[in-house]
Amino acid sequence: MPVSSPACVVGLGYVGLPLAVALAEAGVPVVGYDVSTARVAELQDGSSGIEDVADEATRTPGLTFTADVCDLEACQTYVLCVPTPLREGMPDLGAVEAASRAVASVLSAGDLVVLESTTYPGTTEEVVGPLLDAGSGLVAGRDYLLAYSPERIDPGNPTYGIGNTPKVVGGMDDASTKAAVRFYETVCDTVVQVDGTREAEMAKLLENTFRHVNIALVNEMAVFCRELDIDLWQVIEAAKTKPFGFMPFYPGPGVGGHCIPVDPSYLSWRVRKMGFTFRFVELAQEINAQMPSYTVARLGDLLNDAGIALSRSRVLCLGAAYKPGVADCRESPSIEVMRQLRRKGVTVAYADPFVPDLVLDTERLAAVPLSDLGAYDAVLVLTPHAGFDLELVRREATLVLDTRAALAPGENVYRL
């Protein structure tokens, strides 16, 4: 298959759009497909809506956008980059199934289909393949090629992007693997080949479960280190001087985003279906899920020490997104902290240059400027965007609870 053959990227969010742009920049004709006509119109108007993709990149030669599946018929490679959220603790493959049916309607013999959406081992061959077969009349591995390659997008990361992040690829057979490797070599410096789709699916889950478990470890240590009057951040800095056998992780108000809080649950769910329990994951989920409540309790203690009742306090929360430098609020612990504060009677305001407004329960809040800090009883640092003037916060805020160690501790600055 020539690398210049037309490709389709299905799903134009944080994963799909950067890939579509990278392929077009490499000279591959690309059709970006999304079921949202509003999203397609936004892109056609030259607005990427994603911090990592400049608006002008939407006009890269060879890149077009559509919400009409009929426009995909000339494509020979299809990459599915659609969301895979949890619904009531169970994997929701609705978007993957819908994308598979859409591609099946235009699939031709010899085409390559790659799933990038994070999911449990077996999804590519047990869910996507049968849907493609049923809708196209073709057979995976005989008439068309089928592979899995986990997305490794880290929104807001200025160092690692699609080109210099190694790409893991596994096909349902040797021909599928080789075709997927050739395809990704057009945009990735390094392509890592594994034996099959299940190995590639499991690799992504291992990566994020590793992070999830280790974040839970330091979150739990943060709780009892405070009781022991030990500076955990100093402990971590000392431990990471060891040149082997240690990797630093840091505590915070919880975990957020589209990967860490969700992906380990896919693996845990799959393991439970086999009659086992994944105790590491379940314990990590329990610990990390408690961190917003711990953050609220810690703030309540600090305010109480200052003679202020939490229920009558005014608190400014810095950062609503789940990580610095992005607008993504999916599973953001900042949102949960704000929600819990409001339920305790706190008057909550928030500042975030990337999130102009948000809905807490049923009320819409607008972001406020980082000013008049003395009007608040406390400032809660949740997501330290680079644009925040944290020294101003240190100077003017009466009390600061810094959940991310963005400021050095001081007489008015406290950590978890």
**Any idea which residues carry the catalytic annotation?**
259
**Total residue count of the chain as it appears in this document:** 416
Measured between alpha carbons, how far is 357 from 352 in angstroms, rounded to an integer? 9
Measured between alpha carbons, how far is 80 from 332 in angstroms, rounded to an integer? 25
Residue with tokens 């899920």: 289
Q: How many CB atoms lie within 10 A of CB 416?
A: 22
Residue with tokens 């047990």: 126
Q: How many CB atoms lie within 10 A of CB 363?
A: 8
How many CA atoms are closer than 13 Å to the CA of 334, on its beta-carbon side? 34
Instruction: Evaluate whether 147 touches 171 at the Cβ level (below 8 Å).
Output: yes
Listed residue (386, 398, 317, 313) closest to 351, CA to CA:
317
Helix, strand, coil share (%) of the chain residues, nearest 5:
40, 15, 45
3-state secondary structure 323-347: CCCCCCCCCCHHHHHHHHHHHCCCE
Identity of the amino acid at 195: D
C-alpha pair distances (Å), 215 with each of 129, 209, 291: 35, 10, 11
Element at 393 (helix H, strand E): helix 390-396
Output the DSSP codes for 88-114.
TTEE--HHHHHHHHHHHTT--TT-EEE
Instruction: Evaluate whether 121 touches 205 at the Cβ level (below 8 Å).
Output: yes
Element at 236 (helix H, strand E): helix 232-239
Output the DSSP codes for 122-178.
THIIIIIHHHHHHHHS--BTTTBEEEE------TT-SS--TTTS-EEEEESSHHHHH
